[in-house]
Structure 1
């Protein structure tokens, strides 16, 4: 705050608590100089929750003692600490191979949050979004999983590998429809279920290949989509 803002703050305090008012010119100037010395780096208001008048009003309501400039400064420091505690440093857009630019942007964001110029970023995974070049990277590789990694994982997930192979070969995706034979849901592999003498199912092992009836349903679905 500059001296004019400090004078306005002192006038506001005098209306709420006449004990702090100074009637003499010299006393008023000395009071303004004292308050400005301690509060020159404290803003009058910010766009995100800070208003020095709210801090003064809260002190007058909560404390029987006249407010001092250190009371306002302490409330401002508590406001800064609270905002930085809720901030999670979103990834800078600067090139990470340029440490100076990276650090400058990071510190600039923290300063903006601490001084109330920007809101804290509390969930960068949710609010930051994907990196700006993620679409270009996916277009280059064709998938979020590189082909070499996908091939290495194929023996450990045979149902998924068979499904991907069928789609790549132009055949219908059997797992895109539920199975009427074993009642597997969409996306779930078929199960090898045997009926016992009591009529109840025995065994529930996943199958690498879907049941033929499920394949027929997938073929019919694909035909309907092509006809439409």
Structure 2
């Protein structure tokens, strides 16, 4: 802030907290000089959220003590730190083979965010897409999970392992249809459940089954035959 801006802030503060008013000309001049020395790198306001008047008003409402210039300087640093923490460094438009231009644009964007001249970019974006080599590897594997890793995960997800084994053996995808059992009614895509009832008819258990109900397997096979016909 410039000296005239510091004087305007002190005038605004005097209306909110009369304890900060200096009636003597020399004291007022010294007060402006002190505040300008500590707040020369703090802007009066930015186009993206910072305003010294808001910081002054918040301090007056929250603290019984007169505000000091260091309070505003700390509020400004906390505001800058928060914005930089929310900034995710979007990919520069410069040629990545030109490190100097790439770094200059990256630092320029961060400086604009830190000074309030630009809003932080809060979403990471993938602009280049997957590489050709990755697409070829996925096409060869058929899944983003390699077979060796899928085999290691099989003991921890038996229902999915049984489903994949049945499909690999040429059988129908049993979980592609809803279970018709009255005591299960598992929707499509969800494994069957073993429900236990108490003497009053209420459910005591609802555990997932590793294998689907036979009626569901029959329904999946019939649905597959109808689709093939």
Q: TM over 0.5: same fold?
A: yes
Name the structure 2 match of 1:201: none
**Partners of 1:87 and 1:120 within 8 A in 2:** no
Structure 2 CA distance, aligned partners of 1:61 and 1:212?
A: 70
CA contact (8 A) 1:3 1:36 kept: yes
TM-score (norm 1): 0.56
Residue equivalent to 1:177: 177
Question: In the alignment, what sits opposite 1:38?
Answer: 38
Question: Relative to 1, partners in 2 of residues 1:135 and 1:8: Cα closer, same or farther, differing over 3 Å?
Answer: farther
Which residue of 1 is the match for residue 21 of structure 2?
A: 20
The whole-number CA distance in structure 2 between the counterparts of 1:63 and 1:161 is: 62
Could you tell me how far apart the structure 1 residues matched to 2:112 and 2:9 are?
24
Query: After superposition, where does 1:121-200 map in structure 2 within 5 Å?
Result: 128=124, 133=129, 137=134, 140-141=137-138, 142-154=142-154, 159-168=159-168, 171-180=171-180, 183=184, 185=186, 186=188, 187-188=190-191
Structure 1 pair 15–190 and aligned structure 2 pair: CA distance change class (3 A): closer
Alpha carbon RMSD of aligned pairs, Å? 5.0
Give the TM-score, by structure 2 length: 0.55
8 Å CA contact 2:86, 2:120 repeated in 1: no
Gaps of 5+ in 2: 197-206
1:39, distance to aligned residue in structure 2 (A): 0.3
Output aligned runs, 1:1-228, within 5 Å. 1-17=1-17, 20-21=21-22, 24=25, 30-46=30-46, 49-61=49-61, 67-79=67-79, 83=82, 87=85, 118=119, 128=124, 133=129, 137=134, 140-141=137-138, 142-154=142-154, 159-168=159-168, 171-180=171-180, 183=184, 185=186, 186=188, 187-188=190-191, 206=209, 208=211, 210-222=212-224
